[in-house]
Structure 1
Amino acid sequence: MRAASQASLSAAAERFETLWQQVGADAAELGAQVLTFADVVRGSGQLRRALTDPAAPGEAKAALVSSLLGSSADGRVVDLLAGVVRSRWSHESDLAEALEQLGRQAVLAGADADGALDTVEEDLFRTQRFLVGQRDVREALTARSTPATARAALIRQLFGPAVHPRTLTLLERITHQDDSTAAAGSVSAVAALADAAAERRARTVAVVTSATALTREQEDRLRSGLARAYGRQVQLNVTVDPAVLGGMRVQVGPDVIDGTVSARVADARRRLAG
């Protein structure tokens, strides 16, 4: 991707990550909705051009997404996808690829939340090693003359009984590659998925809610403290919400540290009422 598309993808990934952290294991199901939309966008050149036209108003593109998805997708996903199409994309094909990456990350986030990420990573590495020695299978999985549905069925037949359901979801996605990605082959596609799983496993995401924006020094102190506590690199996703009044709330997966004034007030009220 060129610089503009990469910047748009990075910004979208941060927004999506906040939702994935909030919903936990349900991220995988919501990510499936993103992947379904990615397939719709990939399959229609007219739609891609409409959603990436730099001359079209962002609100018009967002409205198009809402009308296409309607009630078939979770409202939070629709809002995030509307934000994606408001962004600038260097080439129309970049939008479908960005949606694909966002959806895959959601599946990995769901696996992480339900404690299956290690299993998914190992499944992907084993699948990669298997494909290295199976030329006929590699060619069958990337044959553009064979419908994607048939190739996905082959993946389910080969790997379904042996891998975690989240792994299978990811493996099925290699049949939805564009021509340039498919040229790299199924081994490279699975290797990229394994790398993404490994990267996620080595990183912890902390969702921070604060009454005011944190200073760089505050972020650095918080990041260092969380890294010591969890034994790994920590990414901060900070949201400013004046309703918390003061202090901050930190959520890392299922762990919640709520030091906000609003939480202390609510606790005091419960004690007085009890």
Structure 2
Amino acid sequence: MSRTPHLGGLDSIATAGQGGGGTAWEISRLLNSVSVSSQESSPSAIVLSPDGTHLFIAGAVSDTVYAYTLSTPWDLSTASYSGQSLSISSQAGAAVAMAASADGTKLYVLDQNSVTIYQYTLPTPWVLTGASYASKSFAPGSGPRGIALSADGAKLFVLGVSSPATVRRYSLSTAWDISTASADSGNTKNVAAEGVGYGLFVNPTGTRLFSTDNTRRRILQYNLSAALDLTTAAVAGSLGTGDADSPRDMHFKPDGTSLFVMDLTSDTVIQIRI
């Protein structure tokens, strides 16, 4: 049975990942990691398949999405580069976040330079070979650095860092078609007080929202009392990212037991047990 990720109380874990060892939320919870430096020297974006066997990464140097295969699902120690890649240079010059459709046939890349989300089509689910730009995009504005899609592809969430730092919700009139996105007026959450960086994730039920605070090296959790409704979001906890000195994009295992964080400093994806 799956469970909802929960990161604990802010007060009790405010210094997690900054030193010490063996206590809850600290580096003792690091499971595995994989370096992606051979493919991308300035990585930021990640997304994983629902079965934990495929990992996509992208960044600001190669303008390319790279695919890794996990021979043991959800175990980064078994990850290796598959040889598959997708050039996004004609659209994106600085990928900072990614998302994908539930069936793995659509990939979304947020480009920091053009402030635009680009959509790509994968003819074979979770296979980059043969993938291409779908000629669909959406420019949310507000200095976007993180994106997330609801489980049904009908809602888009964007973390923007323009004053003040805010998460905004958009509706897709056609599910999974990014070009049909439009703002849901007033459905926002100001996150400036908690610290803001890169990365955004919404759990499958839409009752938990997570963002990355790269300044204080932590992941922030917000609980939504009404699913997918940002006006009901409240801070619930945080988790120190340990060895991730510059955490960027992130992804959770569907059952909430593992967190995957891209670290820009070490060019490494880090897996943390929750």
TM bucket, shorter chain: under 0.3
> Higher helix fraction: Structure 1 or Structure 2?
1
> Higher strand fraction: Structure 1 or Structure 2?
2
Instruction: Return the index of the structure with the highest Cα Rg.
Output: 1
